[in-house]
Structure 1
Amino acid sequence: MTEPAARLSRKELWAAIRTERAALVEDLAALDPAQWTVTSLCDRWTVEDVVAHLTTAATTGRVRWIRSVLAARFDFDLHNDRGIAEHRGASPAETLDRFRAVVADTTAASGHTPAWLGEVVVHAQDIRRPLGLPRLPGIAALTAVAEFFVGRDFTVPGKTAAAGLRLEATDGPFRHGDGPLVRGTTEALTMALAGRGSCCDDLEGPGVTTLRARAAPTGG
């Protein structure tokens, strides 16, 4: 299992969320117009769509989330698309301004704070990887998210993805499970647990084939 020292308090998790949002804002501010239209690792979404989705996540509390899901009749693609339409600006600059304005917000649809750290950590890499941007989330943040993902199927089916596998990070304390080994950076392991199958290219070990097969395409 992940070493206890890697676990963050709720206060530390929210601080990490602010840090990762601010880092993404810095990266986004340097993009040219064409880069905003690049397809992200979320199948249906461009870079700009993902940013609008992150603004939605940062401004949607429990009651509003429930109302939106009910209005969409539990069609989560529709629920997400409506949020993107609401928070996407008339231009990439406006979309970025809207995201920048919520960097410090602590609104969330549930009290599962590691999940909302995972939201920004994973989606930031959904943007950075296709664009070739080198920045990585902090190891403490990545480890907290990986630990949360393998513990339950919540925002992503991470527990199911990790079942029967031994996961080992090469750059941090994350360790989980028993079985065929999957070894690589904490970032690549976290992204694979989040269903980003292409990130399995950065992993090694006899369990990679199994993990890749479990990584379903994702739109959010």
Structure 2
Amino acid sequence: MTVQRATVWSVVHEERATLCRDLATLAPEQWSAPTACTGWDVHDVVAHLVDSAKATRLGFVRDMLAARGDFDRQNAFGVARERRDDPRDTLRAFRSVVTRTSAPPAPVATRLVEAFVHGEDIRRAVGLRGDYPPGPVVTALAHQLRTTVRMGGGKELAAGLRLVASDAPLDTGSGPEVRGPAIALLLAVSGRAVEPGELTGPGVTVLAERAAS
């Protein structure tokens, strides 16, 4: 199952709007909850999403030059730029970019990865769950499987494993099976830990160990 490029932005816009609604329900202390993004709390991830939504090809190149080619440093620059003192102001900034369609020089599927993975980074940190459309999640997952870890994907993590989605028409790869919801598979190949029992099969331990390393 894939999503045509023409529909990707409408999905991204809907995911941003839905996340804004969830963020509006957070208690002040929940904004400082640690997330699966090492060193980032919920507030930091939202600031990153603001920065990512405002990114342009030229701006990305400029930031990467300033960061000397280091993606982590470039992301840190963006968080510092967009993180307000008051989380409510950062949320207002996020609302203001919900419908933007600018992006860094990367495949459009990366916008789906950003929306789904960081959406879950935030929600899982505060005990919420998202309801994601299976087709676009599979598109994001397919992108991660084609992309190396160095470039933000999970190709090496899934190598030699068979991934099977329990809620979408996805059955890819060969080897020990890893089965579960498409969003959990996407998180796992994006280097995130998932809850015990969320994924099943003889390949689960291998995938978890690779992600942890």
TM-score category, normalised to shorter length: over 0.9
Q: In the alignment, is residue 120 of structure 1 matched against residue 119 of structure 2?
A: no
Q: What is the correspondence of 1:86-101 to structure 2 with a 5 Å cutoff?
A: 86-101=81-96
**Runs of 4+ in structure 1 over 6 Å off:** none
> What's the TM-score once normalised by structure 1's chain length?
0.91
Q: Secondary structure at the match of 1:34?
A: helix
Distance in 2 between residues matched to 1:206 and 1:56, nearest whole Å: 39
Query: Structure 1's 199 and 161: CA in aligned 2 closer, same or farther, altered over 3 A?
Result: farther
Contact 2:112/2:136, CA 8 A, preserved across alignment: yes
Q: Which of the pair has the greater relative contact order for Cα pairs under 8 Å at 6+ separation?
A: 1
| Match of residue 185 from structure 1 | 181
Distance in 1 between residues matched to 2:178 and 2:192, nearest whole Å: 15
Q: In the alignment, is residue 143 of structure 1 matched against residue 134 of structure 2?
A: no
| Match of residue 129 from structure 2 | 134
Q: In the alignment, is residue 40 of structure 1 matched against residue 39 of structure 2?
A: no
The unaligned stretches of length 5 or more in structure 2 are: none
Distance in 1 between residues matched to 2:118 and 2:90, nearest whole Å: 15
Q: CA RMSD in A?
A: 1.5
Q: Decide which moves more: 175-184 or 199-208.
A: 199-208
Aligned residues: 212
Shift of 1:98: 0.5
Shift of 1:24: 0.6
| Match of residue 205 from structure 1 | 201
| Match of residue 214 from structure 1 | 210
Q: Secondary structure at the match of 2:28?
A: coil
| Match of residue 22 from structure 1 | 17
Contact 1:168/1:184, CA 8 A, preserved across alignment: yes
Percent identical residues: 41
171, 176, 179: which one aligns with 1:175? 171
- Give the letter aligned to residue 56 of structure 1: D
The unaligned stretches of length 5 or more in structure 1 are: 1-5
